[in-house]
Amino acid sequence: MGSALPLPLQLIWLIPVYGFSGMLLSLPWATGWLKRNGPRPAAYLNLLVTLLAVLHGSWVINSIYEIGPQHLDFPWFQSGDLNLRIGFDLSLTNLAALELVTTMSLICQVYALGYLDKEWSLARFYALVGFFEGAMSGVVLSSNLFMSYFLLEMLTLSTYLLVGFWYAQPLVVTAARDAFLTKRVGDVLLLMGVVALSAFAGSMEFNDLYAWAADLKTTQVLGPTAVTLLGLGLVAGPMGKCAQFPMHLWLDEAMEGPNPASILRNSVVVICGAIVLMKLMPIVQLSSLATDVLLAVGAISAIGGALVALAQVDLKRAFSYSTTSYLGLVFIAIALQRPGLALLLLFAHGLARALQFMGVGSVIATTNCQDLTELGGIGTRMPATSLAFLIGSAGVVGLLPLGSFWCFGLLVDSVRQSDPWFALVFLVTNALSAINATRVYRSVFLGQAMPKTKRTPEVNWLMALPMVSLSVIVLLLPAIMQRIDPVPGIASFPLSVGLVVLGSGLLGVAIGSWVPLNQFWSRSTTPWLRVVQDLLAYDFYTPEIYQRTVVSLVANLAQFTRWFDLNVIKGLADGVGRLSIASANGLKLSVSGQLQSYVLTVLLAIVLLLGLLQIERGG
């Protein structure tokens, strides 16, 4: 670390600490040590430290813009040959992602003040959000694979705690458990890859790993099986974090948590998993099979997630599956070696999706309902929410002139010659997402008012202000993208490509506007259509397949081990114990109490032992 660097760069390690310090500052109220003034001071302290993180990040971006990318590391632990250091990669893309994390955390914390205004455990929520923010900031900045894995584990823990925030509800407990266990599967596989990579490469720094991977290409020291297993293990962790098939079900169940946490989870948490995958991609691409698996997972998640979203009647779940779909597109872009375009899509999707979920949260907070068949006619009663939801939905879909349009145009243009099938996946996903956003908007904001929506006032200013602010950011996103754009110009694709992307979005809007909707639309009376709707509504019966295969196998294995433990292990131990007791009872009858008989027994044993030793020597 150079001492000549500007002070904000030397103190870059403080940015993750801001979030963790917010957690610590909230503990007196979260634990009930301070009760007189309520939990709000914890929220204000978290807002203050998050604002400091945003300002510090902006200061660092200005410095990096002037002096160029930097790498900083700090000694952490050293013992013998083991030398662990905490490293930070400071580039414009990493810092832009960091600003997205901290800014979204700040906006969501202000939003949560209005959404959870009557929540008795508000301080605990802000403590968990601070933990969330610190882990995400560290993942974005980390230059070390071990540290990235450690912080991803912290994200898994914070997801479990935030999803289970309302732990008195049985569904919430189940959702938190399933989310934790599903992500743990990916984490364990990633840990195997990390351990193997540390043994093979001898270093955990990403730059050292890239040099090792480049050398491995020429030397071919590892066999194809080892390289393939290594690549699959490294891919599994980001798959779990980004809710990709087949580890996608947790994001849907995580919607049981508070909506402000869902905003962060669907906008920036999934970005952290994708950024880790980008950093690992030079190693993953050593295996063509691992790259093909990544492409297949991305395509299945993109199309499958968009189709499943069409049949959801729960307002939050209709967009959680859409998040899985868009992260599938990001996986495809990363696997096809378009990391810059993947980053642009992550930024555009993250901001627009957050705004979309803010609109969803406002509807839920006002109506206490998230069933699409019981909503309708809210648009005239909640104009700010309606406009924010509309802007967010348009920002997610590839509609001119918002951010995702330029991302889709660049992606389609970059792959249409070499990989036309994946260009088609981008267009189909865009059309399906437009259908979903349009049908949800019609169901919630248009049509006749339903019993639960006849009295729906606009949300309070603490919720409205973040929505309006983020709406402005989403509208200005093309100009922001042009400033941080890692490719030469966001409008560098041909007009024909732009028309195709725009056409796919407009086609989706037209279909979503044409499909008739009523309170019974979620389950048609037409038999074949009902079968299709059920297939999509139940996620192609993936949960039931898991229940009958993986869960059933684990349950049967647990029953067998319990039976084996009770009947074999315990029976053997009890048998030995009973034999010992019976032997003792038999021997106690032979005890005479005469010392000469004891001495005689000992002498006979010694003579017998010496005789055996003599025989062995003679042999």
Query: How far is the CA of 586 from the CAs of 21, 400, 497, 531, 582, in angstroms?
Result: 69, 94, 94, 74, 6
35 falls within a domain: yes
User: Among 125, 143, 161, where does a domain finish?
Assistant: 143
Alpha carbons 356 and 390: distance in angstroms, whole number = 8
Give me the pLDDT at residue 1, please: 46
Q: Is residue 23 part of a domain?
A: yes
> What band does 106 get if pLDDT is binned at 50, 70 and 90?
very high
Does 515 share its domain with 565? no
Average of pLDDT values for 56-62? 87
Q: Is residue 305, in this structure, part of any structural domain at all?
A: no
The answer to whether 279 and 206 are in contact (CB under 8 A) is yes
List the one residue out of 450, 454, 443 whose CA is nearest residue 522. 443
Structure tokens at 278: 């980008």
Greater confidence (604 vs 36) lies with 604
pLDDT category at 217 given cuts 50, 70, 90 is low
Do 533 and 556 sit in the same domain of this protein? no
198 φ/ψ angles, rounded to the nearest 5 degrees: -65, -35
Beta bridge partners of 144: 205
Check whether residue 566 and residue 510 sit in a common domain.
no
Examine residue 296 and state whether it is found in any structural domain, yes or no: no
Gap between the Cα atoms of 103 and 206, Å rounded: 27
pLDDT in tens, 399-449: 878 888 888 988 998 888 888 899 999 999 999 999 999 999 988 888 787
Residues 135, 154 contacting (CB under 8 angstroms): yes
Asked if residue 287 is part of any domain, the answer here is no
- The answer to whether residues 477 and 552 belong to one domain is no
Element (H, E) at 600: helix 595-618
Say whether both 421 and 452 belong to one domain: yes
Task: Name residues whose C-beta falls within 8 Å of residue 608's C-beta, 6 or more positions apart in sequence.
Answer: none
Residue 255's nearest CA partner among 247, 245, 246, 265 is: 265
**Cα gap 21→46, rounded to integer Å:** 8
- How far is the C-alpha of 194 from the C-alpha of 146, rounded, in Å? 7
Q: Residue written as tokens 């997630």?
A: 305
Q: Following DSSP, what letter does each residue of 92-110 receive, concatenated?
A: HHHHHHHHHHHHHHHHHHH
Average pLDDT over every residue of 282-290 = 88
pLDDT at 205 over 90: no
- 555 and 446 within one domain: no
In a shared domain, residues 364 and 456: yes
Whole-number pLDDT of residue 110: 92
* For residues 534-557, average pLDDT: 84
Residue 2 has pLDDT above 50, yes or no: no
Residue 299's pLDDT band, with cuts at 50, 70 and 90, is: very high
pLDDT mean across residues, the chain? 84
- Same domain for 458 and 378: yes
DSSP class per residue in 240-254: HHTT-TTS-HHHHHG
C-alpha span between 355 and 353 (Å, rounded): 5
- Name the helix (H) or strand (E) containing 423: helix 420-445
Is the same domain home to 563 and 453? no
Q: What integer pLDDT is reported at residue 82 of this predicted model?
A: 62
Q: Do 529 and 601 belong together in one domain?
A: no
Q: Which residue has the higher pLDDT, 77 or 143?
A: 143
**89 falls within a domain:** yes
Number of domains in the chain: 3
In a domain, 289, yes or no: no
What pLDDT is recorded for position 431? 93
**pLDDT tens-digit profile of 308-347?**
998 888 888 888 899 999 999 999 999 998 888 888 888 8
Query: Stretch 82-103: mean pLDDT, rounded?
Result: 82
pLDDT digits (tens, 9 = 90+) for 116-166: 888 888 888 898 999 988 888 888 888 888 888 888 888 888 888 888 888
User: 400: which residues sit within 8 A by CB, 6+ positions away?
Assistant: 498, 502
Q: Is residue 343 part of a domain?
A: no
In this structure, the dihedral spanned by the alpha carbons of residues 59, 61, 65 and 68, taken in order and rounded to 10 degrees, is: 110
Report residue 12's pLDDT band, with 50, 70 and 90 as the boundaries.
confident
In terms of domains, do 533 and 549 share one?
A: no
pLDDT digits (tens, 9 = 90+) for 495-520: 888 889 899 999 999 998 888 776 55
Domain finish residue from 127, 143, 159: 143
**Domain finish residue from 503, 518, 537:** 537
Per-residue pLDDT reduced to its tens digit, 449-458? 787 777 888 8
- The pLDDT score that the predictor gives to residue 565 is 87
Residue 249 has pLDDT above 50, yes or no: yes
Tell me what percent of the residues of the chain surpass a pLDDT of 70: 92
Measured in degrees and rounded to the nearest 5, phi and psi for residue 82 equal -85, 120
Q: In the 8-state DSSP scheme, what is residue 574?
A: H
Cα-atom radius of gyration of the chain, to the nearest Å? 30
pTM: 0.86
- The Cα–Cα gap between 533 and 473 comes to 36
pLDDT at residue 79 tops 70: no
How many Cβ atoms from other residues are within 10 Å of residue 60's Cβ? 23
412 with 558, same domain?
Answer: no
What pairs with residue 88 in β-bridges?
A: 72, 142
Domain containing residue 442: 350-537
Q: What's the pLDDT at 522?
A: 62
Q: Is the peptide bond before 478 cis (omega within 30 degrees of 0)?
A: no
